[in-house]
Every structure is written in structure tokens, then in C-alpha cells.
Amino acid sequence: MSVSVLGAGAFGTALAISLSRTGQPVTLWARDLADMPAARENKRRLPGFSFPDRLMVTDNLGKATQADILLLATPMQSLAGFVTDHASELDGKTLVACCKGIDLKSGLGPAEIIRRACPSATTAILSGPSFAVDIAAGLPTALTLAVEDGHALQAALSTQNIRLYRSADLVGVEIGGALKNVVAIACGITIGAGLGESAHAALMTRGFAEMQRFALSQGAQPDTLSGLSGFGDLALTCSSEKSRNFAFGLALGRGDLPPKGTTVEGKSTAKAVSNLAKKIGLDMPIADMVVAVLDNHLTINEAVAMLLARPLKEE
């Protein structure tokens, strides 16, 4: 089956590089090609990794969407607009969402956004602990592919360094990938503010409980969040400065200006999940704290004091 990656950010480019190393032809679509065709490298988003010969880059969406499998590697907050605007070219295809988050306007995850715009498409989610530079370097990476019937798709998207585990729980997989970014911002704030590794571990653990609580409220399977797309992604994202969300929180905690020009999906997701939780009466103190800090309603010290002042309870 032919494959195209729509979106030439760091992660989309890394996936395209890894897939094309299998020998199959792969197309990478970018709205702005810049010098990628001549340089055979994405110098702006993923410098230092040459494109394999079997990787073709194009800015012609009609050409890219001729493939059987389309990996949607657009930012989460751009996904709804993209699939709606190009539904005629995408519907009926196998569409694999590679973004993580919850749409701030609609409160929907990527699977439902795709289904509403492209009802005849086969919808899948690709998620799990991964950094683009590791994938592009050929380092071992394990991910979750969430799809209702995905044996053929699992085989088509597996590479020498990407091992895919299959799941039928699209809701659980996408929520794990979304909420871990919110917890990563909180963990970055904790370390940046000098609150220590013990506080970091506590926040990560309680953040995981919060992720599970929200996922179950949305109909996810209980075990999904314990897998790669939940706990695995949380462990990676909350403990490395390679994580854009952790690095963003780290800068906030230190009182620095956050890095410019990078997509920090956890900012919008925190607001979306906090709004959804309030509507259904679900307690999400860490997400609420991140939103309050981002909106300048609380200082970091006030947010920490608020969390510590919560009523004592059983774990």
C-alpha cells in the first residue's frame, strides 16, 4: 500500500524518512517546500537527516492524496480545518492522525474530527512515546496504532525501527496522547521553579491518575492508559527537555520566555479538557492549575499552594 505523510513538521518528516527506508515509495507533502527538494533535507524542522532516495516531497496535495494511506501530521488545532477543507480528497482513504490533543473549539479528539469530515474514511490514531529525532536517526521506537481492524495497516506502517502495537480503543489512545502534554507542562513548571524531583514524581503520578479518570469518563478501556500511548508517553514527555511541552513548562517555571516557533499542543489541550471536565463535574486539579498559570490567574507559587491545600483523601 502506498503512503503519504501530510505535514512536514519534525514528526511528519521523521515518519516519512523511517517509512521510506523500508524501500517503499513515500510522499511527504508540505504547504511550503522551501529548499527541501534541492537539499533533500528538512533544514527548518528536522536538520541533519537526509531524505532517502524513495522519499518524494511535494506541495501538490492532489498528488499526495493519491496514496492509499494518508498520515495526517498537522498540528492538532489545525486538523479540523484541514480535513474539512480537503474532505473531497481525503474521504474514502485510510486516514491516520499523528497529532495529539483536543480541539479547543469543538472539544473533540482527532478521531471524531476525521469521522465528521470524512465519514467514508478508515480512521486510525498513531500515538506513543517518541521524539522525531530518535525516529529519524533509526533508533528503536514503539508506538500504538489505534484502529478497529488494523492488521494490514499495522504491517504497512511498521519499519525497521518503529514497532507498532495495535489497539481498538481509539478514545483511550487519543486521550492518553493529549493529556500527557498537559501533565508535561505541569512537570516542567515544577522543575523550572526549583520544587525538586520528589514534587516532579508526585505530580507525574497524580497526573497519570487524572488522565485515567478523564479517559474512563469518555468511555476509554481501563487498561489503555497503562500502555504506550498513556503511561509510556507520559514517562517520556515529562522527563526530557526534548519534549516541547516539558520545555515550555520549564521556561515558565524559571520565569523565562518560552521557546518561540514551536507547537505546544498542551496549552490548548489543557483549556479544552478543563472546560470539558467542568461540564461533566469531573475533578481535574492539575489541568485546572496549568490553565490558571497560562492565563495569569495564578502565580506558580499560588498554584502550588492551591494543590497542597486540597482536602486530604485516599489514593
Coil, helix or strand at residue 296 = coil
Assigned C-alpha cell, 164: 507498532
**Rounded Cα distance, 127 and 108, in Å:** 16
Residue linked to cell 489543557:
270
**Rounded Cα distance, 206 and 185, in Å:** 14
Residues 32, 53: contact at Cβ < 8 Å?
no
Residue whose C-alpha is closest to residue 89's, from 112, 66, 59, 108: 66
Angle made by CA atoms 32, 35, 41, in degrees to the nearest 5: 105
Coil, helix or strand at residue 155 = helix
Angle made by CA atoms 19, 89, 77, in degrees to the nearest 5: 75
Cα radius of gyration (the chain): 19
**Rounded Cα distance, 240 and 243, in Å:** 6
C-alpha separations of 275 from 171, 180, 279, 287, 292 in Å? 18, 17, 7, 10, 12
Angle made by CA atoms 156, 84, 60, in degrees to the nearest 5: 60
Catalytic, 279? Answer no
Residue whose C-alpha is closest to residue 167's, from 186, 190, 143: 143
Q: Active-site residue among 63, 100, 105, 180?
A: 180
Residues 207, 269: contact at Cβ < 8 Å?
no
User: Would you name the residues annotated as active-site residues?
Assistant: 180
